[in-house]
Amino acid sequence: MMKQNFSDPRDEHLWRLAKRRVEFRTGLLVYCVVVPFLWGVWWFTLGQHVGFNWSTWPIYVTLGWGMGVVSSHYQAYGLGKGDRVAREYEKLKKEQGDR
């Protein structure tokens, strides 16, 4: 993996944010492919005979992995603490420039 050298700390922040977003999209794509596949495996092996109940194992995979996907989305696109701090910093910087 290539290590990036940034002179401006904001460039390094943007690089990390871009990396998180790409990782999120990749993880979401994998989730959207694997989860339906698992439901298909369940349906064709057991689901047709037993039906949906609490021993339906793909529901646990879907919910557990889904929470991880939501968390990744929050970190990549959400309004985390870092985003709020950056907005407040820009606001203060603009106010100082107006004086």
Going residue by residue through the chain, which has 99 residues, state the pLDDT in tens, using 9 for 90 and above. Answer: 555 555 666 678 788 889 999 999 999 999 999 999 999 999 999 877 887 777 789 999 999 999 999 999 988 887 666 667 777 777 887 888 776
pLDDT value, residue 27: 96
Q: What is the 3-state secondary structure (H, E, C) of the chain?
A: CCCCCCCCHHHHHHHHHHHHHHHHHHHHHHHHHHHHHHHHHHHHHHHHHHCCCCCCCHHHHHHHHHHHHHHHHHHHHCCCHHHHHHHHHHHHHHHHHHC
pLDDT value, residue 70: 93
Domain ranges of the chain: 9-98
pLDDT value, residue 83: 67
Instruction: Residue 53: count other Cβ atoms within 10 Å of its Cβ.
Output: 8
pLDDT value, residue 96: 82
